[in-house]
Chain A
Amino acid sequence: MKKRKSEGSQEINASSMADIAFLLLIFFLVTTTIASDKGLTIVLPPKKDDRTKVETNERNVYVVLVNSRNQLLVEGQGMDPKDLREGVKKFLLNYGADKKSSDNPRDAAVSFKTDRATKHSMYMQVYDEIIAAYNEIRAEKLGMTMKDYMNFDKEKAKKEPALIQKAQLFAQKTDYVDEDIVDNYLAYDVKTIDKRKQKMLDAFVKARNSSKLLFVEKYYDIQKEFPKRISKAEPTKVE
């Protein structure tokens, strides 16, 4: 009789399953930190002694200072951080119109200097606004919205077949061959290439300019036209 009872197939009680799962769930909920590796990038200047003095006209430098009380001084005048973006944009797009402001965006530079006692959050806010000014100009020139510009996937765009073809042609004409032809092609700047290749290049540039520019090329050209020249001066005492 007893045997028969145990033989009766019993279903495993699954009601505690939910409890166990909940327990695990709560453990992972608590321990999870969704890591964000986003931020503002910067490439620091080379070592101090390597630094060569760059001759720049005073009007091509936009001086941004922050003191230890987190107050902003721009070109000798106090300013609210919210107005900085417009200020930088106006400075960059001056093209010599105002004699006290920049000649052209290629020569223009923003000099950013803070006190050692400035708060990091203030530093970030100001740096963010300066970058935003550049990005806004670039996005505008490309006819993109700011959001699209920020999300533009350079790596993906580089794989466009038409672009690769052009880059190969470029490599043939200039024997400027390296591992990544597309990168070289996009980064290429007439100034940095020696004169021997100059003639070939000139012909090529003509051809390149006459054809309709690919969007990705335009993207890089705009970056070259509006280089982010943000000089970060060593913090000292700022009054």
Chain B
Amino acid sequence: MAQFRKQNKALPAISTASLPDIVFMLLFFFMVTTVLRETDIKVTYSAPGATQLEQIEKKSVLSHLYVGFPKDSKLGKEARIQANDVLLSVPKEVRQWVVNEKSKLRKSDQAEHTISLKVDRSAKVGIVTDIENELREIDSRRVIYNANRSAGK
């Protein structure tokens, strides 16, 4: 009996020696997967849901345009377009931006240049159409509407 009691008292502390290793492992995972945001998003963006998602394999051919309502209330309540870190005042400015973005790509990739439209789910179709018309004008017609996977039926 005495022996048993003694053992209970001397319960060894759980070794935390491996804790740093575990944490480091997690740390490396996040360091590798992190993409630091290059631009600051000035408009609201919550992606709509869809089921038939496709992915563009070459990330480099994508140029992102954000469409949403300005986070800064001084800028009004109308939906705005953001290219890189500038809010565009008229949809026509999209042209110059796309031409610029396209020229940054390698010659062989230019035909595949795709505009990724990140449109807030509550934005209206009208502003998106304005962008699309500009894209058609400069013959840059590949577009992907960003979306999150939704459960579907």
Q: Is the interface of B mostly helix, strand, loop or mixed?
A: mixed
Whether a CB of chain A sits under 8 angstroms from the CB of B137 is: yes
Which of A33, A40, A47, A131 interacts with B136 by CB under 8 Å?
A47
Which of A14, A44, A121, A150 interacts with B122 by CB under 8 Å?
A121
B142 and A33 form a contact (CB under 8 A)? no
Assuming the A-B contacts A31-B36, A117-B124, are A22 and B23 also in contact, with contact meaning beta carbons closer than 8 angstroms in the complex? yes
* Contact surface of A with B, Cβ cutoff 8 Å: 14, 17-18, 21-22, 24-25, 28-29, 31-48, 82, 114-121, 123-125, 127-128, 131-132, 135, 150, 155, 234-235
Write out the residue numbers on chain B whose beta carbons fall within 8 Å of the beta carbon of A235: 125-126, 129
A38 and B27 form a contact (CB under 8 A)? no
Number of inter-chain CB pairs below 8 Å: 153
* Contact surface of B with A, Cβ cutoff 8 Å: 16, 19-20, 23-24, 26-27, 30-31, 33-37, 47-57, 59, 62, 67, 114, 116-117, 119-126, 128-129, 132-133, 135-137, 139, 141-149, 153
Assuming the A-B contacts A39-B53, A40-B144, are A21 and B24 also in contact, with contact meaning beta carbons closer than 8 angstroms in the complex? yes
A43 and B124 form a contact (CB under 8 A)? no
B51 and A128 form a contact (CB under 8 A)? yes
Which of A14, A28, A121 interacts with B34 by CB under 8 Å?
A28
Write out the residue numbers on chain B whose beta carbons fall within 8 Å of the beta carbon of A119: 121-125
B143 and A43 form a contact (CB under 8 A)? yes
Which of A39, A114, A116 interacts with B54 by CB under 8 Å?
A39
Assuming the A-B contacts A25-B26, A47-B139, A116-B129, are A40 and B54 also in contact, with contact meaning beta carbons closer than 8 angstroms in the complex? yes
Which of B51, B59, B120 interacts with A120 by CB under 8 Å?
B120
Q: A110 CB to closest chain B CB, in angstroms?
A: 14
- Chain B residue with Cβ nearest A155: B57
- Chain B residue with Cβ nearest A29: B30
Which are the 5 A-B pairs with shortest beta-carbon distances?
A116-B126, A28-B30, A121-B121, A44-B141, A21-B23
Assuming the A-B contacts A21-B20, A25-B30, A45-B136, are A234 and B125 also in contact, with contact meaning beta carbons closer than 8 angstroms in the complex? no
- Chain A residue with Cβ nearest B23: A21
Assuming the A-B contacts A18-B19, A25-B30, are A37 and B116 also in contact, with contact meaning beta carbons closer than 8 angstroms in the complex? yes
Q: B39 CB to closest chain A CB, in angstroms?
A: 12
Write out the residue numbers on chain A whose beta carbons fall within 8 Å of the beta carbon of B24: 21
